[in-house]
Structure 1
């Protein structure tokens, strides 16, 4: 048995969550429902404009790994933070979830700071993310422990990290070490605008290395540059062993070769959509690495997504294993 079921690699950020009216977005020219990158000055200025907020370790893959750890999975995370106050918050919070975290810290004299994402949550539950990447942008191949990757049944790669200059090489190193030891690779596309920025690199990685692709409808359509959702799903399924595509209130579609399953969305009052896709992936991977079938994995993912959007923040507040048991899934 390998030491880890899943090792995630992504943007190590401290999430700053604040509930705001739609007018605040308009006032600050923030496009609703997407992630946009900011520099340190802009991020600091926006931070000064918000009220009391909730601050926890975040970043898409970190949320997924925290979700797997919550379920009792053997998991670890790789992402760069600085030896500063926010870096300490990030490391302590993630380890407290039960995940291993040993990525070397950027030094105190590094010109950048630990990254942070200001997540503005409007009354409809939609989240608009304003991200200062900071030192996480400098994740490099030297931060990848090949022995750790070899000890992973799966690695989970965050699409947002494609924005880093050396991250592609870091991903390549991780993939080689994992696959060389018989492991498998999963990738999340993260955001349709991220896909637009890096489509060619994504396509090559998907064709050459990815065994499990996570995405939502918008990301899927962007990746395959089509208005046909069914056509995009079919094309993805021809390139990847397993495709898990979420579709908001329509649930999720899971494809494996000629097989296809639909997992219904769970009815819930949306409070904060932050982390829905991240927790879907976490529950799906936990199910997969614990030998549950793909239909059950999809259902687990939808249950976890519904739970996390029912409250503020991207951490599960319910005992998901008990919920899965109550639904007859475990």
Structure 2
């Protein structure tokens, strides 16, 4: 096996987030479960909801893209594969991820639909409710994969959000085959309970087939995946089925299970939760960065907690503080 050129190669939705503050009553009015994600299936639907938003702020996003942007901010070497359209938002996304230090060479898609966008409403308690139009990102074909890039990444990181459309699902299956054929690890994030409700069978099969080396979930996603009502029952159910399981638990911190060992860390202290958008993405960034650099599970969990704490103290899912300096300071 040749040495890896990249620490992490990620495949995910290429999205531009539009964030706006909103009251709980507005979330009820639009009929979306607070703190969840719903899909919008047409640009007209997205336009109609956008018209109801208050003043917004555009920040490049996408779950896996946020993760590799975070790793790059810590000094890691990353690449991202995702589909944008030949439009203004596509140009914004491409500029931002490259400016973050991530290699991005996926060919732009011409014609409709537009680049993906996510309308995010942030309530006073910092909870984010997401409304996503997948646009061009849902048409990422297997032919767009750079096999050389995937083969040269120590870890291939995939997001559950992108599993929904048929074309990128086929692309991710091909990417898994490429990574495993080259002796690389495959990490997968369940992304949202919504994804599990639609594709839980596929996710369970990936695990059963031994195709996932590192699985990320939050507490609710784990319960949904394991079809359990109790956290410990879910842990017992999945223990041993995946080599490394990482579960985030908001203010309760995070745990990891590997080789029969259970490791836990607490959440990092913060002054105020401003916006939880990207908390899981940046937790994954810290953890994967630690793993790519050869750190132990506990240290990797700590890095994840540090990165998550930074992201929830400001708007948007891309780091604003010097993550490398923050991590170096905390870990010594």
Fold match by TM threshold 0.5: yes
Query: Which of 32, 51, 69 is the matching residue for 2:34?
Result: 32
Residue 228 of structure 2 aligns to a residue in which SS?
A: coil
TM superposition shift of 1:232: 1.5
Q: Distance in 1 between matches of 2:212 and 2:46?
A: 34
For 1:310, the equivalent position in structure 2 comes to: 313
Query: Which of 279, 283, 286 is the matching residue for 2:286?
Result: 283
For 1:271, the equivalent position in structure 2 comes to: 274
For 2:10, the equivalent position in structure 1 comes to: 8
Query: Which of 241, 244, 251 is the matching residue for 2:246?
Result: 244
Q: Distance in 1 between matches of 2:193 and 2:51?
A: 29
Alpha carbon RMSD of aligned pairs, Å? 1.1
How many residues are aligned here?
Answer: 327
Given that 1:139 and 1:164 are in contact with CA atoms closer than 8 Å, whether structure 2 keeps it comes out as no
Given that 2:89 and 2:115 are in contact with CA atoms closer than 8 Å, whether structure 1 keeps it comes out as yes
1:212-258 Cα shifts (integer Å, max 9, x gaps): 00010000000000012112123323111111100111000011121
Q: Which runs of 4+ in 1 moved over 4 A?
A: none
Q: Which stretches in structure 1 are left out of the alignment for 5+ residues?
A: none
1:214 aligns with 2:186: no
TM-score w.r.t. the length of structure 1 is 0.97
1:78-137 Cα shifts (integer Å, max 9, x gaps): 111101111000000010000001111111xx2211110001000000000000000111
Given that 1:65 and 1:282 are in contact with CA atoms closer than 8 Å, whether structure 2 keeps it comes out as yes
Q: Distance in 2 between matches of 1:233 and 1:104?
A: 41
For 1:205, the equivalent position in structure 2 comes to: 206
Q: Distance in 1 between matches of 2:80 and 2:145?
A: 10
Given that 1:6 and 1:76 are in contact with CA atoms closer than 8 Å, whether structure 2 keeps it comes out as yes
For 1:195, the equivalent position in structure 2 comes to: 196
1:40-84 Cα shifts (integer Å, max 9, x gaps): 111111111213211121111111011011111110101111011
Comparing 310-319 with 231-240, which one deviates more in the overlay?
231-240
For 2:119, the equivalent position in structure 1 comes to: 118
TM superposition shift of 1:320: 2.1
Q: Which stretches in structure 2 are left out of the alignment for 5+ residues?
A: none
Given that 1:147 and 1:177 are in contact with CA atoms closer than 8 Å, whether structure 2 keeps it comes out as no
For 2:236, the equivalent position in structure 1 comes to: 234
Residue 327 of structure 2 aligns to a residue in which SS?
A: helix
